[in-house]
Amino acid sequence: MSRAAIVVMPRVEASLFINEPQTDFNSIFINQPKILEKSVAWLFEADKLSHDLTKSLDLSFKFLRYWRIFKDKWHLVDMNNDGQPELLFSGQPYAGDEKEMFSVYAQYGSIWKEIYWDDGHLIAYKIHPRTKEVLLYHHRYPCCSQSTHALIRLRFLKNKMYQMKRYFLARDSGMKGQFFPDKSKFKPNYEHLKKNTMLYWSNNKITDQASLFVKTNEIIHYPKGAIFKILDVEDKWMYVMMISPPVNETSPVVNAANLTTAKYFGWIEKI
């Protein structure tokens, strides 16, 4: 993929998909500029970075030049609440490219290792109520002709990164329908489908030219008994978060095999 890839809907409202998300990142970023600079300098000199102005492009490049441009994209966060912070990078790695990168690094002795990487940006966080760990939410938005967004919750525990994924479909052009309600209400109760039910990306049925790529706005069926949460109701439609896996069927917009443990957002006709 070229560096000039056109991104699709890179910013969404976190509270539509996350219950009570926190977005004041200064509350979790550790203000230790000398440690931050020293840590990133280690990665730079070890040729572990693939950004503009790094040794991956030219071995003659110097750290101070890189740091002047990129320092605001780096942060220290103690994800696992063990007193030793992790390193985050969230921002555009290349000049003139709209696409962002999100990376997490952990320190092992004097060595820093990348433990998570993907396209996208840091959208929100939550504090675990018992352990006080910092749970990060990463938004991987689509580019080019794609429409699938992923919201990935990251938990760093016992030197392992655990991921929980949530998906939805949306584009800021080339795709019809109202994708989201004005507000999501995350209530504690769960519901069960009374019959096999189609999940749609918008609160109506579109049967022709729903997007540049598919005729309808159908996503995939969910089976009778599937668990879901109702987040909003508009006329005859409910905006929901599906928790159970879908029917194992062919869909033009999703792969059922990838959704066995993932939540999916969309609309179903009111029960």
pLDDT at 163: 97
pTM of the model: 0.93
Cα gap 88→96, rounded to integer Å: 21
Is the four-CA dihedral 83, 85, 86, 91 of positive or negative sign?
Answer: positive
pLDDT in 10s for each residue of the chain, 271 residues: 344 578 999 999 999 999 999 999 999 999 999 999 999 999 999 999 999 999 888 898 999 999 999 999 999 999 999 999 999 999 999 987 889 999 999 999 999 999 999 999 999 999 999 999 999 999 999 998 899 999 999 999 989 999 999 999 999 999 999 999 999 999 999 999 999 999 999 999 999 999 988 999 999 999 999 999 999 999 999 999 999 999 999 999 999 999 999 999 999 999 7
Could you give the count of Cα atoms lying within 13 Å of 62 in the half-sphere of its Cβ? 3
Which segments of 11-85 are extended strands (E)?
A: 74-77
Residue in the block written with tokens 């049925």 = 205
CB 246 within 8 A of CB 266: no
166-192 pLDDT tens trace: 999 999 999 999 999 999 999 999 999
pLDDT at 96: 79
Tokens in use for 106?
A: 């952990």
**Cα→Cα distances 17→36, 129, 167, 204, Å:** 31, 19, 9, 20
- Parse the chain into domains and list their residue ranges: 14-169, 191-269
pLDDT at 216: 97
